[in-house]
Every structure is written in structure tokens, then in C-alpha cells.
Amino acid sequence: MQDLKKMVDLFAGFGGQSQAFLDAQWDVLRIDNNPLLGGVQNMVVMDIKNLSVNERTVEIEYVHASPPCLEFSLAYASPRSRSARNEPDEEYLPDLSLLFEAMRIIEELKPRYWSIENVRGAIRYFEPYLGKPSLIIGAWVYWGNFPLFDTSSIEIVNKSQKDKRHSPLRANHRAHIDLNVSKAFLNSMTSQKSILDF
């Protein structure tokens, strides 16, 4: 029996990016630090700053990371927007520590494919470290090493339709990556052939 392909989903939230992989019987590990997400399938609740990869003993096919977008959001109540209103002469400097943690884990795991996702407001802050985005699908901006695909036919749900205004997980609902996006990533990776496949 062939070993299951493995995926690690960092800052997983409800696991939107990894759902199609889980449905396709991949071995998926989801990690998030919010204890309210402990009931999400295959979730380990922990701070990724405490995650270390001392010795890699398994091959990881794909690592995805969606660091929280609050620091980069252009929404009216976000730290960046408040800073622009209250301190217009000061340059806003977001906390990039979770991006750096994601990059560290990707470097340590050395997966075949990887992606980092965030909002459009993150582009100017991520570009010095990740370069230009590889793909933009609706509100989701992706950097990484993965097979590119046509996004024009992907149907996505508007964020406002996912808003659970009074939920303690409201931000997770709004940031939840659509299953159609996850399926497009899965299809691009499973249909991609390289010399390593022979």
C-alpha cells in the first residue's frame, strides 16, 4: 500500500485550504492556537512558535500557512487603518513575526510544495521576503512554490455571506478559504508531473 501524501496546514482556522486534501485521503495535520477550534478535524491546538522540526523523518508534500490578517487588513477598525487615522505621519509597521515563523517551518520541513496566504493589504509587507504574489483568487493572495492554475472559473462565496457577526470565531468565518479554492490547489498538485514522479 502506498503511503498517504502529507500536508501541514498552519494557522488552519476551520481548515479551508486543506479540506479538499483531507477529502482526498491525504494525511493532513492542522495547527492553530485558538482553543475554540479544537473540534476541527485533525486539529492540534498549539502556538506554532513552539513547533520545532528537529529531524525530518517523513516527506511532506505540501505546507500551507495563513497567518492572521488583522495586522495587514485595510478594514476600518484594523490596526493599520486606525494608525493611518490617528498617526498619519507615522509609518505603520505591522508585526511580521508569524510570517517569519511560517517561513521557518517551511524551510525546516522542505515540502515539495508550499503556499502562504493573506489579504491584499499584506502584499507590500510580504513582498520584501516572498517576492510578488504567485496567485490572487478573490480576497486571497498566495505566495509560494506550487503549480499555477487558471482562477477564472473558480466560484467563491463573498466574505459578507460568511460573516457570523456575533460568533467568537467571526474572523475565522470571514477568512475561511472556499472548498473550490482548496480543490483547485489539490488538482494542480496531483495533475503536475515532474521527473520525481517516474
Instruction: Measure the CA–CA gap between 65 and 104, rounded to whole angstroms.
Output: 11
Q: Residue holding cell 505603520?
A: 92
Q: What is the pLDDT of residue 27?
A: 97
- CATH tag for 6-192 (out of 2.40.10.120, 3.40.50.150, 3.20.20.100, 3.40.50.1970): 3.40.50.150
Q: What is the pLDDT of residue 94?
A: 86
The DSSP-derived string for 50-102 is G---SS--S--SEEEE----TTT--STTSHHHHHHHH-TTSPP----HHHHHH
In tens, the pLDDT along 129-173 reads: 999 999 999 889 999 999 999 998 888 776 555 556 667 776 777
Task: Specify whether the CB–CB gap between 118 and 95 falls below 8 A.
Answer: no
Q: What is the pLDDT of residue 1?
A: 45
Alpha helix stretches (DSSP H) within the chain: 19-23, 79-86, 97-109, 123-130, 170-175, 179-191
- Going by pLDDT thresholds of 50, 70 and 90, the confidence category of residue 77 is low
Q: What is the pLDDT of residue 55?
A: 61
- Going by pLDDT thresholds of 50, 70 and 90, the confidence category of residue 109 is very high
* Whether pLDDT at 84 is above 90: no
Task: Specify whether the CB–CB gap between 44 and 22 falls below 8 A.
Answer: no
In tens, the pLDDT along 49-76 reads: 988 876 666 799 999 999 988 777 777 6
Average model confidence (pLDDT) across the chain: 87
pTM given for the model: 0.86
* Whether pLDDT at 16 is above 50: yes
Grid coordinates of 138:
478573490
CA 107 to chain centroid, in Å, comes to: 16
